[in-house]
Amino acid sequence: MPSILFVFTSAANTLTNEPTGWYLPEAAHPYYVLAPHAKIDFAAPKGPNPPLDQASVDAYKTDEECIKFLADETVKEKLTNAKLLTDVKVSDYDAIFYPGGWGPVLDLAFDPINAKLASDFWAAGKLVASVCHGPAALVDAVDADGKSIFAGRNFTGFSDAEEEYLGTTKRAPFLLEDKIISLGGSFTKADKLFGSHVVVDGRLITGQNPSSATDTGKAILKALE
């Protein structure tokens, strides 16, 4: 059975001082795609109990998998015992996955320990996956030549248009789409705002937004098979 590391943000507030954290469906939906087929561990920069974005709880309060995730005793245990990034051994895993929320743009994007971890996963030939704002955690990940893992590759993530629609362009230090294009990535998105869209480019798997979370999980599962 393959092993997957979910890496959550530890950031609890945006630049404009709204509460933030990890976004519930972006963890819950992939988790239940993958959990029957893989061993899953959780980690975060500050370790145990990474902050959950309450707005995502409110927005998905009728979503069956989100309700299940919040009540799941196994999930609660994994969150309570989330590893520090410094305690992660790359050799223990086949894939790394970053759920979104605005948090990753605030902490993981600037965390040298995370940058090394993501780079080490890439160098070891592992799958590197993320959804929504999760790709922000990979902006400092590099290949063996020191080039961005996005350079010359296709990707997606929360789009500028989606940020503008929500009025959230000032919440984080950069806009994900613009930042990764500047690293040499080629951005694509769904035809409609907030539509599901997943890009698989070799070992790099990215999903655009919360609606893409289930399909991102399916893409990870297919790649592991």
Distance of CA 118 to the CA centre of its chain: 12
What is the predicted pLDDT for the residue at 171?
86
Output the CA–CA distances (angstroms, integers) from residue 88 to 78, 80, 154, 159, in the order listed.
14, 16, 28, 30
Q: What kind and span of H or E run contains 97?
A: strand 95-98
Structure tokens given for 9 = 């943000």
What is the predicted pLDDT for the residue at 168?
86
Q: Name the β-bridge partners of 154.
A: 186
Give CA–CA dist 216/200, Å, rounded: 9
pLDDT (tens place) for every residue of the chain, 225 residues total: 999 999 999 999 999 899 999 999 999 999 999 999 999 999 999 999 999 999 999 999 999 999 999 999 999 999 999 999 999 999 999 999 999 999 999 999 999 999 999 999 999 999 999 999 999 999 999 999 999 999 999 999 999 999 999 998 888 899 999 999 999 999 999 999 999 999 999 999 999 999 999 999 999 999 999
